[in-house]
């Protein structure tokens, strides 16, 4: 017979159901005869099993809290019973192993559990569980070219499964993760939040991995650390020269003179006006200007003659 069920489980009378489960888990593993030679105790193991059998059952617990062990084992007196007769008397079945198996599941719960005090043993053999990590969760992080040029801070809300204190049940909770986007990050950059994935019993939560996905820009196309800027020009401009005005991502308007003859494969490279380098944001790639030369659709005989005369002197 157990003296005080709450003292046996080392909890107070305001303990919640989760507290009761947590206490039984710890003490049952500690005192199980097969757990280890130092703390294993059949007597204490049976007492812990009986205390949990009562306190984990709402009706038994209510009877025990109001009438004590005498009322629980002897029955409720007639003045408190609805039928005028004593209620059924509680008798522990005396099989703590049955309580243990029902709580942990299976015939060999030690295959799935270990304590911090000492590795558990079962049948004289030592079993130490190697916790495996759950699957990683990957999510796309869509960023504009401006975000990747200047850098920024993004707050992302995630929903993940979190274990309750009883170690058996779980709920879904939201969490805000902050990402400091560094200038120059590229498409495919991976940002890892270790062990922020779903929690599960006897497992390590997986990582949450955000993968940078760059959205398209109206003016520029990114190529590694360079920016490509396309300009339409006339054939006359291609042959005689011109200047290109470009509004940069940092808000400046720069004018680039083009004095070379622009042929179909010609590019104008402006050094240091591209994307910042993620390793060294003070260094930048290049701005590469490409050209789409607009040829006239028709020429009169007179204009053809003039062009031939002009080209004859080249």
List Cα–Cα distances, 198 to 137, 138, 202, 211, 259, in angstroms.
9, 12, 12, 19, 61
Judge whether 276 and 284 are in contact, CB under 8 Å: yes
Residues of the chain with CATH 1.10.287.110: 5-124
Question: Which CATH architecture does the domain made up of 5-124 adopt?
Answer: Orthogonal Bundle (1.10)
Which residues are 190's β-sheet partners?
211
What is the CATH superfamily name and number for domain 134-214?
Urease metallochaperone UreE, N-terminal domain (2.60.260.20)
Look up residue 251 and give its DSSP letter.
S
Give all strands (DSSP E) within 65-130, no chain letters. 120-122, 125-127
**CA 264 to CA 291: how far, in whole Å?**
7
CA 283 remoteness from chain centre: 33
pLDDT at 85 exceeding the cut of 50? no
Look up residue 78 and give its DSSP letter.
G
Q: How confident is the model at residue 112 (pLDDT cuts 50, 70, 90)?
A: very low
pLDDT at 78: 54
Instruction: For 126-180, write each residue's pLDDT tens digit.
Output: 444 566 777 888 999 999 999 999 999 999 998 888 888 777 777 888 999 999 9
The CATH number of domain 220-297 is 3.40.309.10: no
pLDDT at 272: 93
Look up residue 215 and give its DSSP letter.
P
Comparing CA positions, the residue from 251, 226, 237, 253 lying closest to residue 291 is 237
Give all strands (DSSP E) within the chain, no chain letters. 120-122, 125-127, 132-133, 137-143, 152-163, 170-181, 190-193, 203-204, 208-214, 220-223, 226-234, 242-247, 253-258, 267-270, 287-294
pLDDT at 84: 40
Instruction: For 256-282, write each residue's pLDDT tens digit.
Output: 999 999 998 899 999 999 999 988 988
pLDDT at 312 exceeding the cut of 90? no
Instruction: For 67-76, write each residue's pLDDT tens digit.
Output: 887 777 776 6
Residues of the chain with CATH 2.60.260.20: 134-214, 220-297
pLDDT at 2: 61
**High-pLDDT (> 90) share of the chain, %:** 35
**High-pLDDT (> 70) share of the chain, %:** 84
Judge whether 121 and 110 are in contact, CB under 8 Å: yes
- Which ranges of 144-191 would DSSP assign to H, the alpha helix? 145-150
Which residues are 283's β-sheet partners?
none
pLDDT at 105: 62
In this structure, of 154-158, 204-208, 213-217, the range with the lowest mean pLDDT score is: 204-208
């Amino acid at each position: 017979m157990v003296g005080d069920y709450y003292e046996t489980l080392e909890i107070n009378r305001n303990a919640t159901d989760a507290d009761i489960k947590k206490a039984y888990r710890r003490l049952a593993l500690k005192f199980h005869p097969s757990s280890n030679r130092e703390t294993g105790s059949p007597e204490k193991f049976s007492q812990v099993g009986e205390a949990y059998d009562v306190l984990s059952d709402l009706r038994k617990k209510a009877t025990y809290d109001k009438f004590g062990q005498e009322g629980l084992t002897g029955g409720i007196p007639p003045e408190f019973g609805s039928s005028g007769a004593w209620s059924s008397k509680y008798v522990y079945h005396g099989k703590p192993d049955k309580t243990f198996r029902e709580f942990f599941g299976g015939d060999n719960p030690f295959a799935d559990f270990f304590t911090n005090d000492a590795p558990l043993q079962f049948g004289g053999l030592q079993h130490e569980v190697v916790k495996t990590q759950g699957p990683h969760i990957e999510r796309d992080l869509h960023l504009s070219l401006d975000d990747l040029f200047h850098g920024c801070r993004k707050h992302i809300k995630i929903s993940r499964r979190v274990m309750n204190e009883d170690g058996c049940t779980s709920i879904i909770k939201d969490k805000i993760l902050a990402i400091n986007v560094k200038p120059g990050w590229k498409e495919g950059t991976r940002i890892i939040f270790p062990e922020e994935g779903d929690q599960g019993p006897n497992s390590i939560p997986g990582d949450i991995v955000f993968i940078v996905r760059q959205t398209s820009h109206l003016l520029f196309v990114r190529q590694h650390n360079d920016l490509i800027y396309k300009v339409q020009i006339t054939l006359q401009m291609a042959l005689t020269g011109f200047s290109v005005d470009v509004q940069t991502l940092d808000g400046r308007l720069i004018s680039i003179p083009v004095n070379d003859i622009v042929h179909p494969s010609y590019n104008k490279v402006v050094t240091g006006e591209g994307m910042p380098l993620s390793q060294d944001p003070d260094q930048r790639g290049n701005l590469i200007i490409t050209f789409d030369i607009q040829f006239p659709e028709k020429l009169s005989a007179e204009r053809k003659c003039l062009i031939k005369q002009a080209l004859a002197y080249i």
